[in-house]
């Protein structure tokens, strides 16, 4: 292991083997990996991401890596992390601008809401498009205190991955499939 002189300011801020062209390469690497990560997260869909937006996830991963490497490895100068952080924040802000001003960009990056239940019937294509199993859907419905599919007029999986439910305004709906009984039977 190579000896590191503590508080060597040039090494801390600029590194020891630093060339201006390498700083440009860092910019390219960050841009490429960020866009790749956004694309991969978009392909994962809404299923695996029900609390943070796709961009927040990518931002956290990228920033965590940049900051972590700078904190743990003495050969990684702070300027590299600063470049990474500035570029990631700038790209995030630019993508937010594009999403606000161009509907197609917003739809591509965040997707569209998907109808999973229509008039008490599960839409298989909606489940397939969202990559959600029926059992997952049942759990999401139970979290909203839905006892029976017949109570649900529409259930829509939003861009955020959260489920919006619209129930009928009928006192005694027709029973389609009781979601409470489904759990109780499995426990017995």
Q: Which residue has the higher pLDDT, 36 or 46?
A: 36
64: buried, middle or exposed (CB in 10 Å: 19+, 13-18, 0-12)?
exposed
Q: 16-30, 76-90, 95-109: which has the minimum mean pLDDT?
A: 16-30
What is the per-residue pLDDT for 92?
A: 80
> Residue 157 pLDDT more than 50?
yes
Specify which of 39-43, 81-85, 139-143, 183-187 reaches the highest per-range mean pLDDT. Answer: 139-143
Q: What is d(CA 44, CA 167) in angstroms, rounded to the nearest whole number?
A: 29
> Residue 132 pLDDT more than 60?
yes
100: buried, middle or exposed (CB in 10 Å: 19+, 13-18, 0-12)?
exposed
User: What average pLDDT does the segment 11-39 reach?
Assistant: 75
Share of the chain above pLDDT 70, in %: 77
Round to the nearest angstrom and report the end-to-end CA distance of the chain.
60
> Residue 146 pLDDT more than 60?
yes
Q: Which residue has the higher pLDDT, 93 or 185?
A: 93
Q: What is d(CA 9, CA 6) in angstroms, rounded to the nearest whole number?
A: 9
pLDDT, averaged across the chain: 79
Q: Domain residues of the chain, as ranges?
A: 9-109, 114-187
Neighbours of 139 (CB within 10 A): 14
Please write the tens of the pLDDT for every residue from 42-101.
665 554 445 566 667 777 787 778 777 776 666 777 788 788 878 887 888 888 899 899
What is the per-residue pLDDT for 40?
A: 65
User: What average pLDDT does the segment 11-38 reach?
Assistant: 75
| CATH superfamily placement of domain 114-187 | bsu07140 like domains (3.30.240.20)
Q: What is d(CA 164, CA 32) in angstroms, rounded to the nearest whole number?
A: 35
CA distances from 25 to 19, 89, 148, 149 (A): 10, 18, 57, 55
Helix axis angle for 103-110 and 54-72, nearest 10°, is 70
- Say if CB 41 and CB 49 are below 8 A apart: yes
What are the backbone dihedrals phi and psi of residue 53, each rounded to the nearest 5 degrees, phi first? -70, 165
What is the per-residue pLDDT for 133?
A: 94
């Amino acid at each position: 292991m190579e000896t590191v002189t503590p508080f060597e300011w040039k090494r801390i801020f600029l590194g020891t083997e630093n060339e201006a062209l390498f700083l440009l390469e860092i910019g390219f690497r960050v841009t490429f990996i960020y866009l790749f990560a956004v694309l991969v997260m978009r392909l994962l869909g809404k299923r695996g991401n029900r609390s943070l937006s796709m961009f927040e996830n990518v931002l956290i991963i990228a920033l965590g890596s940049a900051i972590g490497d700078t904190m743990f490895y003495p050969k990684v100068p702070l300027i590299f992390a600063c470049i990474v952080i500035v570029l990631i924040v700038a790209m995030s802000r630019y993508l937010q601008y594009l999403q606000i001003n161009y509907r197609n960009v917003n739809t591509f990056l965040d997707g569209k809401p998907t109808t999973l239940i229509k008039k008490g019937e599960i839409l298989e294509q909606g489940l397939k498009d969202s990559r959600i199993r029926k059992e997952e859907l049942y759990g999401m419905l139970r979290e909203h205190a839905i006892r029976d599919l017949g109570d649900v007029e529409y259930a829509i999986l939003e861009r955020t991955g959260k489920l919006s439910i619209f129930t009928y305004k009928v006192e005694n709906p027709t029973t389609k499939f009781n979601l409470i009984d489904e759990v109780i039977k499995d426990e017995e």
